[in-house]
Structure 1
Amino acid sequence: MGHLPDLIRDLALILIAGAITTLIFRKIKQPLVLGYIIAGFLVGPHFHLLPTVADNENIEILAEIGVIFLLFNLGLEFSFKKLLRVGGSASITAFVEIVFITVAGYFTGKLMGWSTMDSLFLGGMLASSSTTIIIRAFDELGVKTKQYARIVFGVLVVEDIVVILLMVLLSTIAVTKQFAGGEIIYTISKLLFFLALWFIGGIFLIPTLLKKAKSLIDDETLLIISIGLCLGMVVLATQVGFSAELGAFIMGSILAETTSAEKVEHVTKPVKDLFGAVFFVSVGMMIDPEAIVQYGWPVVIVTLLTLFGKLFSTTIGAVISGQPLKQSVQVGMSMAQIGEFAFIVATLGLSLGVISDFLFPVAVGASAITTFTTPYLIRFSGPFYDFLERVLPARLVKRLNNYSSGTQAIQAENDWKIVLKSYGMIILTNGVILLALIVFSINFFMPFLSEQIKDATTRSTIGLLVSLIFASPFLWALMAKRPNNMAYKEMWLEKKYSRGPLLLLEIARILIGGLLVAFWVFELFDTEIAIFIAVPIILVIIFVFTKRIQAFYQRIELRFLGNLNAREDDEYNSLDANVSRKNAALEAKLTPWDAHIVQLEVPPGADYIGRTLPELAWREKYGVNLVYVKRGDKMILAPDRNSILLPFDQVGIIATDDQIQSFKPVFDSVVHVESTVMHVNDISLQRIVVNEYTRLKGVTIRNSGLRERTNGLIIGIERNNERILNPESTTVFEWDDIVWIVGERKKIQELSSRNAG
């Protein structure tokens, strides 16, 4: 018998255990992640009643691959443009919560006597909430349509990206052992620079590659390309000094902006599910029951910190962002749990050898407890607010709600915001590319020229000219490209108030471009040559060839924007996309009214189908307003009194959370019509003969009653060696006709036997 590697035995054991716990946890409606962790404990070294994994090293490698694909899939669901659409309320709420809970986690660890690294990683572990647990709880409690749920989803999106950055920061601190503020600022700056560079470069190149090869790509090829790109970015990220997880996330977020995003997510999902299961099982293998007992108090302390710390900080963040107090409390009580990222952060710390083994049981224990408390916290968020409203001074509650209304008005976007955003994007994108070109030129291109050309002046001149050719379009854009929007044009025409500030912005970016050129030249030439010869020549060249440089830059920009917006352009003109945009616009204006717009689908068996709106009287009974009806590819705006609703119509309802809560059960109610349930095996094709027993001669099909007596249909008649398929209901039966009927077997047989008798 051949030798079977331990890896295959271990993988079989892990997957079988994971499959069994998955079935059990689906049955009891609990998160699968906890099921995988329990499966890992059962096949781990601390449980001896079942077979145990033999080769932990191979499992750790598979688990690391699992983390990579988990982060890659997260990037596919993420998209940087989604982050930009989240809005200020969710962003402010998330940052307040993350800063508070991370700092609180660090100091809690220090108070418990933990090391600096253990305390830092504890703060990082607490920074994220569980998207899967929150969505499951929202579905079960039926609150996904409530206004605060949208803020929660926005906070989760921001948390994802911030926790990724925290992971990179923690790994850098762990490796360098540098805790100084300057070192951390340098690390963050370096990280943001590479994030921007990878995103810009990836969007410019990868969608173009996929578009050119579209006719050659099937599911198999797309899977190979996607995994290859993911692992390639993982290698690049680690070479630059960042974590593999960051590389996977970045590549996922780049592919998320392509038209193939959904297909990539579909073909890679089985790979993610497989290796993700192995990762969470490997987490369970690290659980030591003795350690959980030994560190029981830390588990309790971390759990309480999670529950009350996240509840408090998220609520405060939501209030600061301008949400009403009730909505802020509901957001805070929805976020009070530890997410799956806690295990990934802890795994990172263990792989770097900088944290203690007890952090895992502490994280698992706190995660398990907060998983079960989340639905109850969400359910009781309304009553808890009612309690706060009774306890807090009425003047304070009124001031908070007035602050909310004022903040919503301030957050409205004005022309200056639009213009400043445009200038910021121009300076940021082109500045990042120019910095990347400078770094490449100084660290790679010039050393290469040094080996080929001995004369320093010649070498520097060639290096500068070649670099300038590549840099000139981006240098021109940084210094001269103007925002292409109506807000800028309107402000430029208002000479009295806007021309001066706009001129200052123009001068500022010209100075930024000049400083970059000067820095570049000073690295290649002596100071005198740089100041009096090189810099003026470069600026003159850019001025003389402005039109050509501008045309070349516009081609580059057109390609980049085309790739960036390709996915949205495909969907932009669809009715669903237009409805989503209009809903978002209405949402922004409805916030001060404590109302929002909810899109609901008419169930097929609803008892109100076919009735006119005045007959339904929903506005009078429930206070809701029906704004539109989306029926297939048609949109009915402000339906009139004669409009009716049909199955599967999408209707837009404007209402408050309380109104929706009382109205939705009415909207979702259906009429249960009792009908005979027939098994498929009871359906039969049989025949009867027209004779003296059936008494059908001279009777039409319509008047024969065969349809009712057999619960079936007459599909054919054989007459004089001829066949009549699907005869008309006016057909008259004749002697010896053979009638073929599709219907209920027993009823047809009863009819035949009764006639024969």
Structure 2
Amino acid sequence: MNTAATVKEVSHHLEPLISDLGLILMTAGIAVLLFKKLKQPLVLGYLIAGFLAGNHFDFFPSVKDIKSVEVWAEIGVIFLLFSLGLEFSFKKLMKVGGTASITAITQIIIMIFVGFLVGQWMHWSKMDSIFLGVILSISSTTIILKTFDELGVKTQKFAGIVIGSLIVQDIVAILMMVLLSTIAVSQQFSGMELMKSVLKLFFFLTIWFVGGIFFIPTLLKRAKHLLTDEMLLIISLALCLMMVGLAANVGFSPALGAFIMGSIIAETTQAEHIEHLVKPVKDLFGAVFFVSVGMLINPHTLFTHTLPVVILTFVTIFGQSISSTIGALLSGQPLKQSVQTGMSLSQIGEFSFIIASLGITLHVTSDFLYPIVVAVSAVTTFTTPFMVKFSTPFSEFLARQLPRRWIKRIERYSANTQAIKSVNNWQIVINSYSTQLIVLSAIIFAAILLSSKYILPLVESFRYGNALGALITLVVVSPFLWALSFRRFAAKEVTILIEERKYRGPIVMMFLFRLVLSVFLIGFLLNIFFSPIIALIALIGAIAVYIIFQKRLNAQYHKIENHFLKNLNDREITKIKRNRSSLSPWDEHMAFFDIAAASNLAGKTLEELQIREQLGINIASIKRGEIMINIPKANERLFPGDEICVIGTDIQVKEFKTYLDQHEMDAPDTFTEPEIVLRQIELKNESYVGKSIRDSKLRERTRGLVVGVEKKGKRILNPESNMILEKDDILWIVGDKKLLADLVHN
């Protein structure tokens, strides 16, 4: 009887759950098709779908189980942040440079301040105003990238600054979520609480990143031959959810854990493949998240707060544009690029939704804030393409209207800033010293805390248990203690600085501080396991043993460090190996793609596809089973299962991948060493001079293709066949290795 009742109860619970999911996906699907047809951002389609499926619209079937939708939406946030982490890299952040960092940080600081003041001016609560400031400070990566693609401006200089700024903004948004959670829970704005939260965050970020890079790439690499696509997807999502649990257990947002795990996996050699596998999962739950956002849109609330929506829309558009322009100018960019950057960043989007939902989850923001944010985002999404399109004419208008002395000062400041590229020796020493100190101290401190929590309770009941526990912990941390005490940092720069008298004192103090910190950490560890007097005696003995085994500790630490660096750089090293036969005269490289069985490109000739004419890339070879077709002719057809090798720049290859995805083609996870090579040939042979490329018969003699010519320092990619060859021209020819070698020797 109880069993039948339970089954009936489960059946009753499943019915609204399944019907709600079906309603959400059906509505989202229709909205996506409609907005795709109208060439509008899909996010807006999801929002409207959510509004229609929500309880605030009476002329459409409504979702019944709101709690389940909220759970799915939270999962959607987790997978969105995990996917964002897969596209992100800590090394990529380091390469962003000062321009994007200064632009983003200036924008964020100004907009948080402006948003808070506007919230207070509208008589909102202090917590609403704080959340509003953070919400208005983060631009939308999704909307900007889509707009750049549609307008074809991704190759322009300002686009690089914008994309770099978005990377910095995403990182700051993650930090803001942690700080907002702290403020919301404590209901205090004390600097001490915020400082503790920041220190705690950086401590766990360091430990998670270092530990993750040390273990996870090794795990995936060693298990690679066992992992099918299904298993790799399961393991990736399991790692993501494991980090989500860790983050939640130490008091951080689950989204932070997902982002961190994504950024760790982004450093592995299988990152692109994992990103490809995770994409459908992210798209599914991401759609549910954005639909759930739309469900919270209350027409009555929007009607009541029409004025705040209008005010905040103008604040967002003009505030983001002006603050970003100021940031770009401060970073040393010319007026034109600064205005283009500022006007491109004039919207809010997905991160603003996530931060607004955080306020609702923590029950610290008013109900009206969320729908207002959604409305502002919707309006600024529509205005973004126009802002980007008119940024160039507006920058030219400003250049004409501003006083001439202002323009000259901006130009002079930009020129001076661009000229400052060198970093002095003292900065290099400080950066190296700080990095080593922070990372090594965090590792040692984390090991001590873990030992006190897990090892001490196990051993303290035994007679010599404390001594054994202390010994185990010391053995584990000893290589790191050695590195903290004695490992050299920026050796070349330190040697130069020591020769200058004024730097000798600070450098000596830096070495002494490391020694004192190491002794303190050893004492801290021993004090956990022993009484103070015994700990002091053990400390003296530990230091003596520590000095005796210096060389062994040195070797052990370098072994650990080399393993970490190998994992950290493995992805780049693999790319270099794949491209060691790079066919790029300048910045082009090779990439490999498979023709999918269901591809609608199969059966068409290269002439019909017009790939080179549309995208600017060359198809260097086609591998069909055991047959390799080098430098295929225009009448060559593509067949399912073909592996094609293309040559192009990073941007061209990325556009080509998008082109393939649109035609249901899948990127492979394996690469084949090409049988064709690139040779750089300086034209000395008189028999070619004065002839066109076509008349020289270079294609026939090398079974190859001339992909680049340099004439008197001028570079020409993909030259026309009627170009006349001159003496001392430098040719880049893709072709058969042996025939090219014969051509070089002749």
TM over 0.5: yes
Q: Report the CA distance between 1:669 and its aligned residue.
A: 12
Give yes or no for the alignment of 1:534 onto 2:538.
yes
In structure 2, the residue matched to 1:241 is 251
Q: 1:117 aligns with which of 120, 127, 146?
A: 127
Q: Report the CA distance between 1:346 and its aligned residue.
A: 1.3
Contact 1:603 1:668 in 2 (8 A): no
Q: 2:418 aligns with which of 397, 408, 413?
A: 408
Give yes or no for the alignment of 1:446 onto 2:456.
yes
Contact 2:581 2:677 in 1 (8 A): no
For 1:493-547, what per-residue CA distance to the aligned partner results, in whole angstroms no more than 9, with x for missing partners? 957787665444333322332332343344455555555x333322222111011
Identical columns (%): 50
Contact 1:491 1:498 in 2 (8 A): no
Q: Report the CA distance between 1:55 and its aligned residue.
A: 1.0
In structure 2, the residue matched to 1:74 is 84
In structure 2, the residue matched to 1:741 is none
Rounded to whole Å, the distance in 1 between the matches of 2:612 and 2:583 is 22
Give yes or no for the alignment of 1:321 onto 2:337.
no
Rounded to whole Å, the distance in 1 between the matches of 2:448 and 2:584 is 43
> What RMSD, in angstroms, separates the aligned Cα atoms of the two structures?
3.6
Rounded to whole Å, the distance in 2 between the matches of 1:222 and 1:105 is 43
> Which aligned pairs between 1:315-464 and structure 2 lie closer than 5 A?
315-450=325-460, 452-453=461-462, 460-464=466-470
In structure 2, the residue matched to 1:506 is 511
Rounded to whole Å, the distance in 1 between the matches of 2:142 and 2:581 is 26
Contact 2:708 2:719 in 1 (8 A): no
In structure 2, the residue matched to 1:516 is 521
Rounded to whole Å, the distance in 2 between the matches of 1:28 and 1:649 is 42
In structure 2, the residue matched to 1:189 is 199
Rounded to whole Å, the distance in 2 between the matches of 1:113 and 1:668 is 65
For 1:607-634, what per-residue CA distance to the aligned partner results, in whole angstroms no more than 9, with x for missing partners? x999xxxxxxxxxxxxxxx9xx999852
In structure 2, the residue matched to 1:707 is none
Contact 1:208 1:563 in 2 (8 A): yes
Rounded to whole Å, the distance in 2 between the matches of 1:71 and 1:652 is 44
Change (3 A) 1:13 1:168: same
Q: Which structure would you say has the larger Rg?
A: 1
Q: Report the CA distance between 1:484 and its aligned residue.
A: 6.9
Give yes or no for the alignment of 1:89 onto 2:92.
no
In structure 2, the residue matched to 1:726 is none
Question: Bigger shift: 152-161 or 496-505?
Answer: 496-505
Contact 1:22 1:35 in 2 (8 A): yes
Question: Bigger shift: 248-257 or 124-133?
Answer: 124-133
Contact 2:583 2:678 in 1 (8 A): no
In structure 1, the residue matched to 2:601 is none
Q: Report the CA distance between 1:210 and its aligned residue.
A: 1.0
In structure 2, the residue matched to 1:567 is 571
Change (3 A) 1:119 1:605: closer
Q: 2:558 aligns with which of 554, 571, 579?
A: 554
Rounded to whole Å, the distance in 1 between the matches of 2:123 and 2:680 is 65
Rounded to whole Å, the distance in 1 between the matches of 2:260 and 2:679 is 38
Q: Report the CA distance between 1:468 and its aligned residue.
A: 1.0
Rounded to whole Å, the distance in 2 between the matches of 1:23 and 1:638 is 54
Q: 2:161 aligns with which of 147, 151, 163?
A: 151
Contact 1:310 1:336 in 2 (8 A): yes
Give yes or no for the alignment of 1:604 onto 2:612.
yes
Change (3 A) 1:503 1:578: farther
Contact 1:449 1:463 in 2 (8 A): yes
In structure 2, the residue matched to 1:282 is 292
Contact 1:307 1:370 in 2 (8 A): yes
In structure 2, the residue matched to 1:470 is 476
In structure 1, the residue matched to 2:140 is 130
In structure 2, the residue matched to 1:482 is 488
**Letter matched to residue 37 of structure 1:** L
**Letter matched to residue 36 of structure 2:** R
**Letter matched to residue 339 of structure 1:** G
**Letter matched to residue 105 of structure 1:** G
Contact 1:575 1:633 in 2 (8 A): no
**Letter matched to residue 480 of structure 2:** F
Rounded to whole Å, the distance in 1 between the matches of 2:292 and 2:400 is 48
For 1:178-204, what per-residue CA distance to the aligned partner results, in whole angstroms no more than 9, with x for missing partners? 321100110111011101100111111
How many residue pairs get aligned? The number is 622
In structure 2, the residue matched to 1:727 is none
> Which aligned pairs between 1:570-585 and structure 2 lie closer than 5 A?
570-575=574-579
In structure 1, the residue matched to 2:729 is none
**Letter matched to residue 634 of structure 1:** L
Rounded to whole Å, the distance in 1 between the matches of 2:378 and 2:515 is 56
Question: Bigger shift: 549-558 or 503-512?
Answer: 503-512
- State the secondary structure of the residue aligned to 1:87: helix
Q: Report the CA distance between 1:28 and its aligned residue.
A: 1.1
Change (3 A) 1:252 1:407: same
In structure 2, the residue matched to 1:57 is 67
Rounded to whole Å, the distance in 2 between the matches of 1:446 and 1:581 is 61
Contact 1:237 1:247 in 2 (8 A): yes
Per the normalisation by structure 2, the TM-score is 0.77
In structure 1, the residue matched to 2:678 is 634
What runs of 5+ residues in structure 2 fail to find an aligned partner? Answer: 1-7, 589-609, 619-648, 654-673, 723-746
Q: Report the CA distance between 1:350 and its aligned residue.
A: 1.2
Give yes or no for the alignment of 1:101 onto 2:111.
yes
In structure 2, the residue matched to 1:720 is none
Change (3 A) 1:123 1:476: same
Give yes or no for the alignment of 1:164 onto 2:174.
yes
In structure 2, the residue matched to 1:752 is none
Rounded to whole Å, the distance in 2 between the matches of 1:341 and 1:388 is 32
For 1:694-732, what per-residue CA distance to the aligned partner results, in whole angstroms no more than 9, with x for missing partners? xxxxxxxxxxxxxxxxxxxxxxxxxxxxxxxxxxxxxxx
Question: Bigger shift: 555-564 or 32-41?
Answer: 555-564
**Letter matched to residue 200 of structure 2:** K
Rounded to whole Å, the distance in 2 between the matches of 1:242 and 1:114 is 27
For 1:392-441, what per-residue CA distance to the aligned partner results, in whole angstroms no more than 9, with x for missing partners? 22222212221122222223334444443333332222111011012223
Rounded to whole Å, the distance in 2 between the matches of 1:336 and 1:307 is 5
Contact 2:425 2:497 in 1 (8 A): no
**Letter matched to residue 422 of structure 1:** S
Change (3 A) 1:483 1:634: farther
Change (3 A) 1:549 1:13: same
Rounded to whole Å, the distance in 2 between the matches of 1:637 and 1:198 is 50
Rounded to whole Å, the distance in 2 between the matches of 1:226 and 1:165 is 24
**Letter matched to residue 515 of structure 1:** F
**Letter matched to residue 519 of structure 2:** G
Q: Report the CA distance between 1:5 and its aligned residue.
A: 1.2
Contact 2:581 2:678 in 1 (8 A): no
Rounded to whole Å, the distance in 2 between the matches of 1:278 and 1:668 is 49
Q: Report the CA distance between 1:262 and its aligned residue.
A: 0.8
Q: Report the CA distance between 1:465 and its aligned residue.
A: 2.2
In structure 2, the residue matched to 1:688 is none
Per the normalisation by structure 1, the TM-score is 0.75
In structure 1, the residue matched to 2:322 is 312
Rounded to whole Å, the distance in 1 between the matches of 2:80 and 2:273 is 17
Change (3 A) 1:496 1:168: closer
Rounded to whole Å, the distance in 2 between the matches of 1:182 and 1:267 is 43
Rounded to whole Å, the distance in 1 between the matches of 2:177 and 2:332 is 30
